[in-house]
A and B are shown apart, each in its own frame.
Chain A
Amino acid sequence: MKAMRTPLRTVRGLGSAHEGTSHFWITRISGVALVPLSLFAIGLVFSLLGKDHAAALAALGRPVVAIPLILFVIIGVEHMRLGIQESIADYIHGELLKVAVLMLNTAFCLLVGAAGVFSLLIIAFGA
């Protein structure tokens, strides 16, 4: 009975990238999460401007600050990765260059995310 299926059946809902609307959807969901998280991050940075190192560590190490900030970094870099991936697909047409820049995009987001989360953990655990 497999032969009765048209190619449309296998592609329906997935599109040319074979992942359906998940790119669109994750961008939207992460964006919703980033509304409160980024407002929190702005407030925190402003409250720490001009403070000395000890005061900053004391603030950043508290769970009520560290947890939303870690979420801000993780969800932020994923939102960034998806958004820039879309821009790359729009503007870079050469296949080889496009793949290379897409890899750079992922590497950049992973690096920024790892740096942010690891630093927050170091601060929180008092190393």
Chain B
Amino acid sequence: MSQPTATRARPVSPHLTIYRWRPTMAMSIAHRITGIALYFGMLLVAAWLVAAASGPVWFDNANWLAGSWFGILVLIGFTWALFHHLFGGIRHYIWDTGVGMGKETSTLLAWLTLAASLLCTAVTWAVYFIWF
């Protein structure tokens, strides 16, 4: 009898574990992870809207949860994920025009993505804690 399928693991091409970490690689992974986080974050947005549409008791409970230390922590993470994914997307739009692909430029863009997302998150929450 011939065996059409492999009976032992065949060598596969090099993957994440073999490469030295680079800023571009880290930001690429962060882009995907923040995208997945936002996927579930949108569920929170929808839940908040459902609570608002369901009446004052539901809305007050949702707001209490959002205003608790855990809720604030989740919201800070949510804000950072959104800014990071947003700036990561803009980075992709720059690449789509064909520029910024060089080694130095792409590394700079990776750092700028991180810096811009952290800065915007910090500014947003500073505004919140100072004015609200």
Contact = CB atoms under 8 A, between A and B. Distances in A.
Interface stretch (B6-14, B55-63, B98-106, B108-116): B55-63
Given A42-B82, A83-B39, A53 B56 contact: yes
A39, A52, A76, A119 interface centre (most CB from chain B within 10 Å) = A119
A56 B128 CA distance: 17
Contacts of A102: none
A118 B66 CA distance: 22
Chain B at the A interface: SS class: helix
Interface in B1-46: 32, 35-36, 38-39, 42-43, 45-46
Contact of A53 (B35, B50, B52, B66): B52
Interface residues of A, number: 36
Interface stretch (A1-9, A11-19, A27-35): A27-35
B130 interface: no
A119 B132 contact: no
A41 interface: yes
B39 A115 contact: no
Interface of A is mostly: helix
Contacts of A38: 82, 86
Given A49-B66, A50-B67, A120-B49, A32 B93 contact: yes
Contact of A57 (B38, B52, B79, B86): B52
10 closest A-B pairs by CB: A119-B53, A53-B56, A119-B49, A116-B46, A122-B53, A115-B46, A53-B59, A112-B46, A31-B89, A119-B50
Interface of B: 32, 35-36, 38-39, 42-43, 45-50, 52-53, 55-56, 59-60, 63, 66-67, 79, 82, 86, 89-90, 92-93, 96, 124, 127-128, 132
